[in-house]
Structure 1
Amino acid sequence: MNKIVKYIIIGVLVLGALWAAAFFIKSNSKSAIVYETKTPFISNIEKKTVATGKVVPEDEVEIKPQITGIIDKIFLKEGADVKAGDLIAVIKVVPNEQSLNQAQGRVRNAEIALKNTTIEYERNKKLYERGVISNQDFNNLQLQYDQAVQELDNSKADYRIIRIGSAGGSSSANTDIRATVTGTILEIPVEEGVQVIQSNNFNDGTTIATIADLGKMIFEGKVDEGEVAKLELGMPLKISLGAIEDKELDAELRFIAPKGIEETGAVQFKIEGDVQVPDDFMIRAGYSANASLVLEKKDSVMVIPEALLQFDKETDEPYVEIETGEQKFERKDIETGISDGVNVEIVSGLSMEDKVKEWNKTEPIKKGEEEEDENEEDTE
């Protein structure tokens, strides 16, 4: 009887040990990953680059005064459409006291000179009519008299220009600030009461307004030196505006800078493109924009997803693994062409029938393991 109990106890222990071993193996074992495959396919592929920049008017005209003074009145606001000749602002002249005094003195001197010349002219005119003096002497006196009259007119005109800004008694000539081109007022950087300086050889002068035609816009951006050699004038661009979603504008590359500029360790080259603006669409100056350029394009070539590529650790050459049997794969070196970041061209090494391994696939986490991981996180 004791032997039977002993055998029973031994059997129970053995069964318990087997059950514990089986449970341990099952709980710690992971099922093998089943790799899926994909076959090459025919597609069009484009290699693109994106240039960041902004959209600006092709020409911006700065309106500057022809006389120094103070802004008396501004008639238009920023954003207003103007035509050449439209009045924008009026300047009130504040004459320089010294210049004004000199002009007044010149007028007095001209009046004195004319008075003296007139007396001499009238006296000799009577003598000429009597035949006392010659024709040549009288002509010389006539010339002096005419010059004195002209000098008085000139001195009075200069005095009026200094005092009121116009020689004709009206200030419309110099003190009226008018648009010189047709377009939109982008900016009026001055206010009423601000003193402005005229444009001359030594000073650019104060800008009263900036005008541009918003129907003629260009894209200004920069591209990396590694891509600028692939650009050609006349290439089509697709312009995406940061401020306007789901809207692309066509453009044409018109300028590539001959000299690069180093920025943050990389050499960048400036590019410009003529933007085609629809008549019913308005673009504000300075919109940030991206220009998409097609550097290279191939039609109807064999491609595979770029994620299928693997690279040799020593040579850095690309290769893939193709299926030779049920979940059996072998390495195959390939030659690639251009890539669009999603698909890559296969130049050689693969056929359309090859099944390429998705090598970077991971095993999905089971529901029980997810719950166990969550419980461990909560415990921590």
Structure 2
Amino acid sequence: MKKILLGLVVLVFLGLSVWLGYYFYKKSNTDPIVYKTEAPVETDIIKKTVATGSIVPRKEVQVKSQVSGIVEDLYVEAGEIVKQGQLLAKIRIVPNMVSVNNAETELQRAKLNFDESKRELERYEELYRQKVISDQEYRRYKADFNISQETMMAAENNLQLVREGSSRKKGQSSNLVYSTIDGMLLDVPVKVGTSIIERNNFNEGTTIATVADMRSLVFEGKIDESEVGKLEENMDLLLTIGAIEGRVFSAKLEYIAPKGVDEEGSVKFPIRAKVLLDEKDFIRAGYSANADIVLDKRDKVMAIKESMLKFEKEQPYVEVEIAPQVFEKRMIKTGLSDGINIEVVSGLKKAEKVKIPDATIAQI
């Protein structure tokens, strides 16, 4: 039994000896590790945040009709440039029979009063010429006649407005729809023959056309509550529009909402920025866009990749190559970072090379 145990011990010892010999042999024949290095570069560093939104006109109005009826004529199409006061459409009024009947009754009553006051005036004019009545009494009957005449004319105009939507006295037609501003027609949602509802205190009415000033556009978007505290008015924005490839538009932040809105569990704050366009630029309303908001910027500064940094007690340092594959630890002072590159304020020279952690060169 003792011989068997002794034999096992000898075998284990021989096995370990062979394994250790093989391990040290491989170790002695392994190529040395060669670390990659990289020198600082001179670059621009921009710290920014992103807001999503869309491009909309600053001034956009919906033109509505003052009367209900049916669209009889349309004089414009979407995409046209219109001037303030330009005729857009004509509405054929479908009169309300109750309103027409009331207007006709009022007109008949006014005519009867007018005829009666006219007869009275003619009778008292004769008496006035004969010096039977005083001048004061004559003027009273003259005023009654003038009032009844004006009442009759008002009743006639009212009946015409109810039937046709226009007045001969004022030379105006409420059934004609005009543009209220200069701009481009973004949409004409109605067609000839469409029934429409008038604008009043209880109903916003049917939109005849949407007109906007496309020379003044703004970006409207929302930004997360974690970033809104970093924003200030007049900050620069860089707009990327998905429908326009290869272009970046400039904008200037002009409004930050004082109150946020809850969207899917997170609070976002609306913002607005003026889009700075050249005369030749044309952007359609409603384009979706992403705004890169420049929080801070450094031009032409020395920088390294942020991944090269190491930290000791929250102090940043790098490993600088002082001889081939020989490195020393160097404390540095850093500045602005964009998440990829970080500004080196002091502690490093442009010609020096910095070790890239965990990056090696394979030996052949």
Equivalent AA in structure 2 for residue 177 of structure 1: V
Q: Distance in 2 between matches of 1:163 and 1:30?
A: 103
Match of residue 35 from structure 1: 35
Match of 2:101 in 1: 101
Q: Deviations over 1:317-366 (max 9, x none)?
A: 65544446654556556553321233112345555565422223267699
Deviates more, 1:192-201 or 1:73-82: 192-201
Aligned residue in 1 for 2:6: none
Aligned residue identity for 1:150: E
Question: Which amino acid in structure 1 is aligned with residue 151 of structure 2?
Answer: E
Given that residues 235 and 295 in structure 2 are in contact (C-alpha distance below 8 angstroms), is that contact kept between their aligned partners in structure 1?
Answer: no
Partner of 1:80: 80
Query: Could you state the TM-score of these two structures normalised by the residue count of structure 1?
Result: 0.79
- Residue aligning to 2:11: none
Residue 101 (structure 1) shift: 0.3
How far apart in 2 are the matches of 1:233 and 1:148? 63
2:356 corresponds to: 358
Q: Does 1:346 align with 2:344?
A: yes
Name the residue aligned to 2:224: 224
Unaligned runs of 5+ in 1: 1-17, 367-380
Distance in 2, matches of 1:359 and 1:86, equals 70
| Secondary structure class of the residue paired with 2:207 | coil
- Mapped contact 1:164–1:171 kept (Cα < 8 A): no
TM-score (norm 2): 0.82
| Corresponding residue number in structure 2 for 1:186 | 186
Cα deviation digits, residues 107-144 of structure 1 (max 9, x gap):
11111222222222222222222222222222222222
Distance 1:133 1:299, change over 3 A: closer
Percent of pairs identical after alignment? 41
CA contact (8 A) 1:160 1:169 kept: no
Structure 2 residue identity aligned to 1:240: T
On the 8 A contact 2:34/2:362 being kept in 1, the answer is no
Change (3 A) 1:136 1:159: same
**What are the equivalent positions in structure 2 for 1:20-31 lying under 5 Å apart?**
31=31
Alignment gaps of 5+ in structure 2? 1-17
Aligned AA for 2:336?
Answer: I
Aligned-CA RMSD value: 3.0
Partners in 1 of 2:79 and 2:363 — Cα distance? 60
Residues 135-177 of structure 1: per-residue CA shift (max 9 Å, x gap): 2222222222222211111111100000000121899621111
Q: Which secondary structure does the structure 2 equivalent of 1:76 belong to? A: coil
Q: Is the 8 A contact 1:165 1:171 kept in 2?
A: no
1:66 aligns with 2:66: yes
What SS does structure 2 have at the residue aligned with 1:307?
helix
Residue identity opposite 1:181 in structure 2: I
Opposite residue 136 of structure 2, the aligned amino acid is Q
Q: Partner letter of residue 146 of structure 2?
A: D
1:157 counterpart = 2:157: yes
Name the structure 1 match of 2:15.
none
Q: Kindly report which structure 2 residues correspond to 1:1-380, keeping only aligned pairs within 5 A, or say none.
A: 31=31, 33-168=33-168, 173-310=173-310, 318-323=316-321, 327-329=325-327, 334-347=332-345, 350=348, 352=350, 355-361=353-359
Q: Which has the higher strand share?
A: 2
Aligned partners of 2:261 and 2:332: how far apart in 1? 38
Q: Deviations over 1:167-189 (max 9, x none)?
A: 21899621111112111001112
Output the CA distance in 1 between the equivalents of 2:353 and 2:36.
Answer: 9
SS of the residue aligned with 2:358? Answer: coil
Structure 1 residue aligned with 2:4: none
SS in 1 for 2:34: coil
What's the CA shift for 1:241? 1.9
Cα pair distance change 1:96/1:364, threshold 3 Å: farther
Pick closer, same or farther for the CA change 1:158–1:30 going to 2, 3 Å. Answer: farther
Q: Secondary structure at the match of 1:218?
A: strand
Matched AA of 1:85: G
Deviation of 1:316 (Å): 7.1
Distance change >3 Å, CA 150–CA 353, structure 1 → 2:
closer
Identify which range, 97-106 or 142-151, moves more after superposition: 142-151
Note the C-alpha offset of 1:103.
0.5
Mapped to 2, the partners of 1:115 and 1:338 lie a distance apart of 91
Deviation per CA, 1:57-116: give whole Å up to 9, x if none. 110021111122221121211111111222111101111111100000111111122222
**1:15 aligns to what?**
none
